[in-house]
Amino acid sequence: MSLTTLDGRYELGMLLGQGGMADVFRAVDTVLGRDVAVKIFRGGSGSVDRARFLAECHLSAGLHHPNLVTVYDAGTDNGRDYLVMRLIEGKTLADKLDWGALEASWVCEVGAVVAQALAHVHASGVVHRDIKPSNILLGQGEVPYLADFGIALPSGARRLTKGGQFLGTIAYTAPEQIQGAQATAAADVYAFGLVLLEALTGRVEFDGPESAAAVAKLNRAPEIPDTIPDGVAAVLKAMLSEDPARRPTAASCAELLRAAAAGEAPEVTIPPVTTPEPITERITERITRRRRVRPAYLVAGGAAIAAAVLLFPASVLDAGSPRSENGKAGEPTTTTVPPQAPPAVPSTRPLQPAPPGPPITGQPPAPITREVVLVPQPQPQQPKDRKPPKNPPDNGGKGGDGGGKRPGPGDKGGPGREP
């Protein structure tokens, strides 16, 4: 870095940390006479880099909380965008984790403070998107501060990324983000849950190359050891739920962690999973209801219905069958068409309803099969000068289902430590 002074005001000192997009320096504000942290962006003059810089400036300046790093100033000097922030004297949570696992009571106390700061961020309509140990600063007395809003975005905003670029740290990214979903407050809660788990175990839960970490995250849930106290484990299990809708809010996490730190048993309430009624059950119910009353005038059309069933592709019937956990198809949804009697001799007698069937009991209907039994029916002679009707057109359609550089635990950065 050739610059030593920014805008004739900020005298740069030692390098405090480096990240993927910026360098953080200790500096002196010569106007106000105080030490500050200056984050200088390495990005070029591209529209995406510039937009990201402006987004961080505006988002950070609009957040006011005692456990968030305060932004003092921003500007551009000699083509270099910079951000001036409060200097936090201390270290990062990543530095502390270099010495191994931490006491559960300390993790819960610090975690409750960070969760409360994160709740303020979410209440302001912002998603952090990069919660990790190196972005949690520990100041004097190990007071925690949540830092680095370099890739934060307003909730629901368009992501500021270049083609094929993924922003965030795979080891702490929520599984739905890996599948392409938009980052939400629930994704921040998941990432923070992994940070707390790492603090309690002393190891990165999804470690290794980014590709391996991503695959592992999609194929298994985080492992919570039995050595973690039950109350804390219950909080972590809720925060690390695969379903974003079942994760508690950051504000709820703060309350639960405070209770756990006080030795109380936190009451973790996880919303139930609502399972939709299987399609096969609805089909069975409708078919059963139709079989209970069968007037005689329906019998004459039975042969035509059976013929239509024969023409219906078997593959379509199989397409809706549920699949078991081992990947094999479950019990197929099939239909039995009873044999039909030959057409009756025309009669002038009025049609009478069929005799009532057996009484309906509480027993479930008989299993439906796809066997079709037909009695050959005499076909009427067609006039020689009339061509047989063509097969009806196939109305079926095609269908389908829709379906950064990862730092290690000791990665340094943030304002004062890690950008």
Region label for 98, one of left (φ > 0), alpha (ψ between -120 and 50) or beta (otherwise): alpha
Q: For the domain 91-158+167-280, what is the CATH code?
A: 1.10.510.10
Residue 68 is classified by DSSP as B
CATH 1.10.510.10 residue window(s) in the chain: 91-158+167-280
In this prediction, residue 107 carries a pLDDT of 98
In which band, very low, low, confident or very high, does the pLDDT at 260 lie, cut at 50, 70 and 90?
Answer: very high
Give the SS3 label for residue 333. coil
Which residue has 């197929």 as its token pair? Answer: 332
136 and 166 Cβ atoms separated by less than 8 Å: no
Alpha carbons 119 and 101: distance in angstroms, whole number: 26
CATH 3.30.200.20 residue window(s) in the chain: 4-86
In this prediction, residue 96 carries a pLDDT of 97
Element (H, E) at 308: helix 302-311
Q: What value does the mean pLDDT take over residues 251-274?
A: 81
Architecture of domain 4-86: 2-Layer Sandwich (3.30)
Q: What is the amino acid identity at position 56?
A: E
Write the CA distances from 320 to 130, 309, 316, integer angstroms: 40, 16, 7
Give the SS3 label for residue 127. strand
Which tens digit of pLDDT belongs to each residue from 126-145? 999 899 999 999 999 999 99
Q: Check pLDDT > 60 for residue 345.
A: no
Q: By percentage, how much of the chain surpasses pLDDT 70?
A: 57
In this prediction, residue 258 carries a pLDDT of 96
Rg (CA), the chain: 33
Q: 77 forms bridges with which residues in the sheet?
A: 80
Pairing of strands 34-41, 22-29: antiparallel
In which band, very low, low, confident or very high, does the pLDDT at 80 lie, cut at 50, 70 and 90?
Answer: confident
Give the SS3 label for residue 358. coil
Which residue has 């003059």 as its token pair? Answer: 45
Alpha carbons 366 and 378: distance in angstroms, whole number: 31
Q: Check pLDDT > 50 for residue 234.
A: yes
Which tens digit of pLDDT belongs to each residue from 282-316? 434 443 444 444 444 444 444 444 444 334 343 33
In this prediction, residue 263 carries a pLDDT of 85
Alpha carbons 199 and 158: distance in angstroms, whole number: 32
H helix runs in 62-207, sequence order: 93-97, 104-123, 175-178, 185-201
Catalytic residue annotation: 130
Q: Check pLDDT > 70 for residue 67.
A: yes
Alpha carbons 149 and 250: distance in angstroms, whole number: 17
Which residue has 């209770």 as its token pair? Answer: 259
Q: List, as one string, the DSSP characters of 128-140.
A: -----GGGEEE-G
Q: List, as one string, the DSSP characters of 37-87.
A: EEEEE---S-HHHHHHHHHHHHHHHT---TTBPPEEEEEEETTEEEEEEE-
Pairing of strands 136-138, 153-154: unpaired
More confident residue, 396 or 83: 83
Residue 398 annotated as lining a ligand binding site:
no
Q: What is the amino acid identity at position 409?
A: P
Region label for 414, one of left (φ > 0), alpha (ψ between -120 and 50) or beta (otherwise): left
Alpha carbons 220 and 87: distance in angstroms, whole number: 39
Q: What value does the mean pLDDT take over residues 194-199?
A: 98
Q: Check pLDDT > 90 for residue 121.
A: yes
Winning range, highest mean pLDDT, from 45-59, 226-240, 276-290, 399-413 = 226-240
How far is C-alpha 56 from the geometric centre of its chain's CA atoms? 24
H helix runs in 202-278, sequence order: 210-219, 230-239, 250-261
